[in-house]
Amino acid sequence: MIDLLTSGNITAAIAFLCAAVLSIMLHELGHGYAAILNGDNTPLYQGRMTLNPLSHFDPLGFLLFLFVGFGWAKPVQVNANNFKNYRKGLFTVAIAGVTVNFILLFISVPLCKLMMMLYQKAYFASQGEPSFLLFLCELVYSFFMFLISINPVLMVFNLMPVYPLDGFRVVESVTRGTNRYVQMMYRYGRYALVAFLVLIYALNFMGFDLLGLLASWVSWPVNQFWNLIFGLFA
């Protein structure tokens, strides 16, 4: 985000900000809806079931999005004791957020391809001259491009088995919380998360995008699927 602003590409900066806010907001709403379906109305009582981005704002997570390219929203609080089925509730709530991110990725790929076609038509129609239609097509195309790049990163980051990320909650649901690793994460998990963030930043500084590499493994089958579908109608 900072690179986009300093480069003067305001259109891309706006598109990135909108895509990032939507992705992390819907991620948290996914957790909230899953909790409600499992019998816990805590997210509803706390006012988190809203599309108001300010209700999901987390300062540190937002700063990381600005400077590193990934981050998080304020986690939705749930009370697992209210779940109809504890293990099932813990598991489904844990994977709900990344499931939403995958759905966003899946639907953004074809929409991005369609917007690219519209952008090309608008560009040739205006003969390259600036116009509102051209700006709008570029903005929406960039928005879907960033959805495609942001959501798989959110998926692989949140699936890391480090407390308090979603991946840890999956491990906790499978082991009933009695596993030695789970107990260790409850005690030292926040330090492990900080160490993990420092590692990612250090690798990025050295030119190795670990999360980007893992995210590409998530994106590849989705892109291949839609390339096949579009190829059938080409």
DSSP for the chain?
-HHHHHTT-HHHHHHHHHHHHHHHHHHHHHHHHHHHHTT--HHHHTT-SSS-GGGG--HHHHHHHHHTS----PPPP--GGG-SSHHHHHHHHHHHHHHHHHHHHHHHHHHHHHHHHHHHHHHHHTTT---HHHHHHHHHHHHHHHHHHHHHHHHHHHTSS-TTSHHHHHHHHHHTT-SHHHHHHHHHHHHHHHHHHHHHHHHHHTT--HHHHHHHHHHHHHHHHHHHHHHHT-
Residue 202 has pLDDT above 60, yes or no: yes
pLDDT > 50? residue 97: yes
Residue 177 has pLDDT above 70, yes or no: no
- pLDDT score for 2: 46
Mean pLDDT in residue range 194-220 = 88
Q: What would the mean pLDDT of 228-233 be, rounded to a whole number?
A: 89
Check pLDDT > 80 for residue 178.
no
**Which sequence positions are flagged as catalytic?**
28
Give residue-wise pLDDT tens across range 1-57.
545 545 557 888 889 889 988 999 999 999 999 999 999 999 999 888 988 888 887
| Domain ranges, ordered by start, for the chain | 2-232
CB 153 within 8 A of CB 69: yes
pLDDT surpassing 60 at residue 223:
yes
Which pLDDT band holds residue 234 (cuts at 50, 70, 90)?
low
Does pLDDT of 156 surpass 90? yes
